[in-house]
Amino acid sequence: MTARVGVAVMAALLALYIVLVAQRAWLLLGSGQPIGIAMGVALVVLPVIAGWALWRELAFGLGSQRLARRLEAEHELPTDEVDVRPSGRPDRAQADALFPAYRDDVEAHPDDWRAWFRLGLAYDGAGDRSRARGAIRKAITLEKAARP
């Protein structure tokens, strides 16, 4: 629940930032001065990028949460446990030992969103967040395509 509150607070702060930057951009565009107009155009781009990034992250979070709930309801979430170090990081050797089974499942079923989601969880457990996000994004895309 605290993660949702954190996301809501950050989204609200980013929305406030977008509004304030857009307001400044409007004022600069209306200044009539070449430098002011150029700065205004640049400031228009920032809220657009920020809005896109906010939407993408929220869509990713909601999509991954939806898939996790579906796998949990189907009793297909991985049950493997990996020891963690005092720092909180997973034991790399244990995580690496589990990884081949999930990779092989994706290779055997490349169009199965469940296999991709479990692979993403394996990447995350191994500490490879960028590949984890990529695999989970692939799972979200495949699941959306499979919907009637």
pLDDT at 109: 94
Query: Is 86 domain-assigned?
Result: no
Together in a domain, 62 and 103 = no
> What is the C-alpha to C-alpha distance for residues 117 and 144, in angstroms, rounded to an integer?
13
Query: Is 87 domain-assigned?
Result: no
Together in a domain, 69 and 6 = yes
Confidence label for 105 from pLDDT (cuts 50, 70 and 90): very high
> Does pLDDT of 142 surpass 90?
yes
Together in a domain, 130 and 103 = yes
Select from 13, 40, 73 the last residue of a domain.
73
In the chain, the number of structural domains is: 2
Rounded to two decimals, the pTM is: 0.75
Q: Among 53-57, 95-99, 104-108, whose mean pLDDT is lowest?
A: 95-99
Q: Which domain holds residue 32?
A: 2-73
- Residue written as tokens 């209306």? 30
pLDDT at 133: 94
Together in a domain, 60 and 120 = no
